[in-house]
Amino acid sequence: MDIRTGNGYDVHALAEGLPLWLGGVEIESPVGCMAHSDGDVAIHALCDALLGALALGDIGKHFPDTSDEFKGIDSKILLARTAGLVRSHGYRIGNADITIVMQRPKLAPYIETMRETLSAVMGIPVPAVSVKATTTERLGFTGRGEGCAAYATVLVIKD
Ligand code: MG
């Protein structure tokens, strides 16, 4: 059995009046991510982790933010394509673990929906998808509400 891990990290600046998408779910929030796509940092970190596991480069290489094709795109489409790429290389996704770093709003009410959404998009069971959220105790750019960040770790398996 061939097992590989990957990690991903992403940051977006926050601005008032923009929609906030995290983990494929729209979050009720006065601020949202500034981005070429829908700015879903959790999915972007997850895509980078999946690409990293297979040493296929990064999300910017596969879905360039200079391309009109990806302007305002639903990041779930990027994740579906990335998961397809993993499968096309003969691997299946074993599990994914994501940490979203954001001071506010509180994300706890959305975590289960994010897990269900991401598992459906990747085609893996819900128990294989973990989503966690943390603040940074008001420290740093996330703590000041200037931006949000996400970390992702994945395991991929070739049976
Ligand atoms: Mg991003």
pLDDT tens-digit profile of 81-117?
999 999 999 999 999 999 999 999 999 999 999 999 9
Mean pLDDT of the chain: 96
Q: pLDDT tens for residues 58-84?
A: 999 999 888 888 888 899 999 999 999
Please give the DSSP secondary-structure letter assigned to residue 137. T
pLDDT of the residue at 69 = 83
d(CA 19, CA 33): 7
Distance 29 CA to ligand 1 centre (A): 18
Tally Cβ neighbours within 10 Å of residue 80: 15
What is the value of pTM for the model shown? Answer: 0.97
Distance 133 CA to ligand 1 centre (A): 17
Q: By percentage, how much of the chain surpasses pLDDT 90?
A: 89
CA distance 73 to 38: 6
Distance 81 CA to ligand 1 centre (A): 16
CA of 42 to the centre of ligand 1 (A): 8
pLDDT score for 137? 94
pLDDT digits (tens, 9 = 90+) for 28-38: 999 999 998 89
What residue spans define the domains of the chain?
Answer: 3-158
Cα(127) to centroid(ligand 1), Å: 25
Residues with CB under 5 A from ligand 1 (ion): 10, 44
Ligand 1 centroid vs 159 CA: distance in angstroms?
31
Section 27-55 average pLDDT? 96
Q: What is the pLDDT of residue 36?
A: 87
Are 32 and 38 in contact, with CB atoms under 8 Å apart?
Answer: no
Q: How many angstroms does the Cα of residue 138 sit away from the middle of ligand 1?
A: 22
Identity of the residue numbered 112: E
Q: What is the pLDDT of residue 33?
A: 94
Fold of 3-158: 60s Ribosomal Protein L30; Chain: A; (3.30.1330)
Q: How far does the centroid of ligand 1 lie from the alpha carbon of residue 15, in Å?
A: 15
Going from the Cα of 1 to the center of ligand 1, the distance in angstroms, rounded, reads 32
Secondary structure class of 74 (helix, strand, coil): coil
131 pLDDT higher than 90: yes
